[in-house]
Amino acid sequence: MLDQLGDELGDFYRDLHRNPELSLQEHRTAGRVAEKLRAQGFEVSDHVGGTGVVGLLRNGDGPVVMLRADFDALPVEEKTGLPYASSVRAVDPQGHEVPVMHACGHDMHAACLVGAAALLARSTDLWAGTLLLVFQPAEELACGARNMVEDGLFERFPVPDIVLGQHLAPLPAGVIGHSTGPVMAASDSAHVVLHGRGGHGSRPEATIDPVLLGAHVVTRLQGIVAREVPPAETAVVTVGRFQAGAKDNVIPDTAELGINLRAYSAEVRTQVMTAIERIVRAEAAASGAPEPDVEWGTSAPLLVNDPDAASATFAAFTEEFGEQRLMPLPPVAASEDVGVFGEAADAPTVYWFWGGLDPEVFASAMAAGGIDSLPSNHSPHFAPVVEPTLGTGVQALVVAALAWLGKPAVPLA
């Protein structure tokens, strides 16, 4: 039945890739998705949580199965050289003009869910229940899922019995990566403003230098994971932004830090957040500086695959794809906000990865010593092969949905 989609789905994917939109600005993308769903007979609601799109297909009594995809892009300049590469530029929330690219595969996520919607809508004799398709904005800001929930997602639409989703990964195309328990880390970001006393670079004694203060903070933060987190636990602390001053002979009044943490348990997450604040404030005190500002912003919960639900879903994958195409994966330090849906609905979540790299290129890289040389998510060179990536992603969503809708799997070959 994948053949029924013809070239149309590939063209849809290339259109999304060529026309990416930043988080919370996905108006064109949402319109294209809504158009495709309406054509397949879904009840469609748009502007859910901003630019989110919800498709509903009722097919008698049975469970409510939610399939989720995200569709926002990143402020990255594309360097893939593809004939359908993005040349889009947009204005970010800070007012800066930036390049825009689908550097994380969200265009593929959306295209696969549109394809799965088409196949499931054409195969209603093979399943019973309700399909709830959620196309989520702003995953890259880790706020899109929460925005949709706060906009009444589960008051306005049926509450799902299971939440299913997938993510493109730097694995060979056609391969599905899976795990049970913690899948992706919790993530929190802090915006820190260090206050000093500016002055002339020739008279540092008359100033409180926030640049030196910031350097001590950055160095000291590296001791949290090394010296405070138990070796059996995992955590990451990254300072991704350090901004201060505008001239080499002027000591500025302030310095700003952007700090990000990842953890796989609530206890470690709280421990690391507390340690970050302690260090920032203590270093400011040690420098004789005013109290710093620490504001916690972007946050994504720990993503956990329900053991029983994951086992049932991955058993269906094994039957459909064969064990040779399934790859067990360790927990990933990146983060996702899809877990917000499962928490809000009090439903199990099952999430998996699937590959988009040319298998021969992947094999050559492995033979040469590893895949670090291959473009991964968020790289300006990230370019999944359209097939079999697209077909595998569609197939995985359909198989996962049918595993919960209570009837035999649809033949997809």
Backbone angles phi, psi at 357, to 5 degrees: -90, 145
CA distance 309 to 91: 41
Q: What pLDDT sits at residue 6?
A: 76
Q: What confidence tier does 116 reach under pLDDT thresholds 50, 70, 90?
A: very high
The 64-70 sheet, strands edge to edge: 43-48, 52-59, 129-136, 64-70, 162-172, 349-357, 176-178, 326-328
Angle between helices 266-286 and 210-227 (to 10 degrees): 150
Q: Are residues 11 and 141 in the same domain?
A: yes
pLDDT digits (tens, 9 = 90+) for 222-232: 999 999 999 99
pLDDT digits (tens, 9 = 90+) for 222-259: 999 999 999 999 999 999 999 999 999 999 999 999 99
Q: What pLDDT sits at residue 136?
A: 98
The verdict on residue 413 lying in a domain is: no
Q: Are residues 343 and 332 in the same domain?
A: yes
Which domain, by its residues, includes 374? 2-183+302-405
Instruction: Name the residue type at position 383.
Output: A
Report how far Cα 76 is from the mean position of its chain's Cα atoms.
Answer: 15
* 259: CATH: 3.30.70.360
| Residue among 97, 160, 131, 168 at smallest CA distance from 336 | 168
Sign of dihedral through CA atoms 368, 326, 356, 239? negative
- Residue that finishes a domain, picked among 300, 319, 338: 300
Q: What pLDDT sits at residue 413?
A: 41
Q: What confidence tier does 318 reach under pLDDT thresholds 50, 70, 90?
A: very high
Q: Are residues 153 and 230 in the same domain?
A: no
3-state secondary structure 175-224: CEEECCEEEECEEEEEEEEEECECEECCCHHHCECHHHHHHHHHHHHHHH
The verdict on residue 165 lying in a domain is: yes
> Is the pLDDT confidence value at 115 over 80?
yes
Q: Are residues 294 and 307 in the same domain?
A: no
What's the number of domains the chain is made of?
A: 2
Q: Are residues 354 and 206 in the same domain?
A: no
Q: Are residues 138 and 168 in the same domain?
A: yes
Question: What mean pLDDT comes out for the span 382-389?
Answer: 95
Model confidence pTM above 0.85: yes
Structural tokens at position 43: 């009840």
Q: Are residues 17 and 140 in the same domain?
A: yes
* 399: CATH: 3.40.630.10
Q: What pLDDT sits at residue 4?
A: 72
The verdict on residue 412 lying in a domain is: no
Q: Are residues 127 and 20 in the same domain?
A: yes
Q: Are residues 93 and 130 in the same domain?
A: yes
- Give the H or E element holding residue 155: helix 153-156
Q: What pLDDT sits at residue 362?
A: 85
Q: Are residues 268 and 317 in the same domain?
A: no
Q: Are residues 12 and 160 in the same domain?
A: yes
Q: Are residues 267 and 346 in the same domain?
A: no
Question: What mean pLDDT comes out for the span 136-155?
Answer: 97
Q: What pLDDT sits at residue 407?
A: 56
The verdict on residue 332 lying in a domain is: yes
The verdict on residue 168 lying in a domain is: yes
| Out of 175-179, 306-310, 332-336, least confident range | 332-336
- Residue that finishes a domain, picked among 239, 265, 300: 300
